[in-house]
Structure 1
């Protein structure tokens, strides 16, 4: 009888011990999951903050209204620098987030690596954009305190070749990086040719020898700028060929943006015809942003020419800003999807439970 009672007691002890061990294991598992969820909350909050950092960092730097009549060319450089600084801040915050993710507790290693890979990829894209923006900012800064629509003395001046080359390279780099990130780059509508038969034509504002631009040429240029497609303009700049300052040869209407931007006081007004509307207005933007670039304007058209130059520059800045913002958002979206895929793991190795992931964030 005693043996039987002892066996029963032993069995009870074993059951109680087993239950105790099971409860302890369940407690530890619950604590592990709580730690995991705490890590996810911190990561999620940190990432959502980053979504607003770029916008907050650049403030009201909206390209389509970045400059106004009376602004100096250096203001264009300030705009590019502000965008670059915003990207730098965003890139730095991503690095901080990557460090937080590395410290995540009870997270599946492969899903953590996927997030870090997405962050590294985005950081590389941002660094390339920052480099291009720095190039653009320095070029505009070198133009100094000259007015964006400078037409003093009605004597036109060519945009310096080195400056044109730098702008072309910077724009091309931004477009190439954004395209690889998934941004759809439009060709736009370049429009028809812009004739140059007299000093009263729009293109006369870009250059003229003894016959500088006459009255009404400024208003005609303003009309050409108003109807220009920003996408077509940026495409023309991307594919332009920088040319040394020179008179344009031949009485024709087939000149591209690079040649038109190089048009100087030796170029007869009748030789300044543009291959397309986009070529003409892109050349206006290049002259307006780059050192040496100057326009010819009749006294009655001074303000109209300045306004046209400012509008052309804002169209270029606006479409570049759109492309950059789109690229940034696409890269951040890729990180967001990777963060949502972080899985729970009971060990530091491969996941033993894979049904727990980052809650969807909006």
Structure 2
């Protein structure tokens, strides 16, 4: 029996070529699968990063209500804590941005732009909160609801009140530009001035202390004030000049005003916001006819401050939620690309 060596060699060569081609093709498939796995693994890590940020900034900005025995510097400490929380969130976002940039086989230009915009929003918030922290810490060891039951009240330092007004105005503007809707709310009706009525506990009575019942009346007015929309907007729109013995005074005018008989407020929200502005800044003292009404006045002061701090905290959290959600939506649109650096963001 003759063995055809030539045929065997040809078949061997063909088999070798077939195996080589098969392995080469299989290698390409494996390489492609590895690329896709790397891409999807990166997206999973990004998702975990978002969960970490979403889960942590609420704690970082945690709101602790001030008490009647707290000094005004406590308000400054609160804003300092908020500033640190915002800074921590920004740092985590910047770190997440580095991870997103390193996603293989993906075009992340749109996401980078969104992260840059959101980071700028947080930076602006940090700057505004820093102003509030600095000016409210100047209140020092003065009690938030300091009451003078022996003589007339004292107006808050106008320049400091103006800084708070500007800081709140900046924060609301940042929030609106971010997409948060801040309604005007129900500001309530005006509160007329009289020695025995609520405004007297805030602005005094013609060089003398307020009459009886002014303290409890002030507490009642603050209790019914709408904090979310009305009070915060009244601070935003307040001025620190033009205080007078009429019923048309805004929050800033009421905060710095003193010793003017029959001075009232334009609205209930203006009165409550004026109380908060005076209670957070240096120089201001409230008025009470006797020590028996001091508790009511202090309670009104603390309540008004907590309403303002609570609203601002709510705004910070909502703005961060909005910005992080925008980034998350952009990340969710990233698609795999076989060629690194080519278009990969999904379409709506």
- Name the residue aligned to 1:254: 248
- Name the residue aligned to 1:181: 178
- Name the residue aligned to 1:95: 94
Could you tell me how far apart the structure 1 residues matched to 2:35 and 2:207 are? 83
- Name the residue aligned to 2:63: 61
Deviation at 1:42, TM superposition (A): 2.0
- Name the residue aligned to 1:276: 267
Question: 2:67 aligns to what SS in structure 1?
Answer: coil
- Name the residue aligned to 1:294: 285
Could you tell me how far apart the structure 1 residues matched to 2:34 and 2:332 are? 21
Per-residue CA shift, 1:278-336, capped at 9, x if unaligned? 11111111111111111111212101000001011111111111111100110011111
Could you tell me how far apart the structure 2 residues matched to 1:80 and 1:318 are? 11
Could you tell me how far apart the structure 1 residues matched to 2:84 and 2:221 are? 34
Could you tell me how far apart the structure 2 residues matched to 1:140 and 1:258 are? 15
Could you tell me how far apart the structure 2 residues matched to 1:354 and 1:31 are? 20
- Name the residue aligned to 2:335: 343
Q: How does 1:211-222 map to 2 (within 5 A)?
A: 211-222=208-219
Could you tell me how far apart the structure 2 residues matched to 1:84 and 1:41 are? 30
- Name the residue aligned to 1:39: 42
- Name the residue aligned to 1:264: 258
Per-residue CA shift, 1:124-175, capped at 9, x if unaligned? 0000000000000111001111111111334211111111110011000100
Deviation at 1:236, TM superposition (A): 0.8
- Name the residue aligned to 1:242: 240
- Name the residue aligned to 1:360: none
Deviation at 1:12, TM superposition (A): 3.3
- Name the residue aligned to 2:25: 22
Question: 1:190 aligns to what SS in structure 2?
Answer: coil
Per-residue CA shift, 1:21-56, capped at 9, x if unaligned? 111111111111222222222222222111122123
Query: Structure 1: 5+ residue runs without aligned partners?
Result: 356-362
Equivalenced residues, count: 339
Q: Is the 8 A contact 1:188 1:229 kept in 2?
A: yes
Query: Structure 2: 5+ residue runs without aligned partners?
Result: none
Deviation at 1:119, TM superposition (A): 1.5
Q: Is the 8 A contact 2:106 2:335 kept in 1?
A: yes
Q: Is the 8 A contact 2:333 2:345 kept in 1?
A: no
Q: Is the 8 A contact 1:345 1:354 kept in 2?
A: no
Q: Is the 8 A contact 2:63 2:310 kept in 1?
A: no
Per-residue CA shift, 1:38-93, capped at 9, x if unaligned? 222222222211112212323x425xxx2111111111111111111100001011
Could you tell me how far apart the structure 2 residues matched to 1:321 and 1:354 are? 34
Deviation at 1:354, TM superposition (A): 7.9
Query: Are 1:75 and 2:74 an aligned pair?
Result: yes
Q: How does 1:189-228 map to 2 (within 5 A)?
A: 189-196=186-193, 198-206=194-202, 207-228=204-225
Could you tell me how far apart the structure 2 residues matched to 1:203 and 1:289 are? 17
TM-score, structure 2 length as denominator?
0.92
Q: Is the 8 A contact 2:154 2:285 kept in 1?
A: yes
RMSD after superposition = 1.9
Deviation at 1:273, TM superposition (A): 1.0
Q: Which deviates more from structure 2 when the two are superposed, residues 30-39 or residues 82-91? A: 30-39
Q: Which deviates more from structure 2 when the two are superposed, residues 8-17 or residues 177-186? A: 8-17
Deviation at 1:101, TM superposition (A): 1.8
Could you tell me how far apart the structure 2 residues matched to 1:262 and 1:56 are? 35
Deviation at 1:5, TM superposition (A): 6.0
Could you tell me how far apart the structure 2 residues matched to 1:277 and 1:217 are? 15
Could you tell me how far apart the structure 2 residues matched to 1:13 and 1:192 are? 94
Could you tell me how far apart the structure 2 residues matched to 1:57 and 1:49 are? 12
Query: Are 1:50 and 2:82 an aligned pair?
Result: no
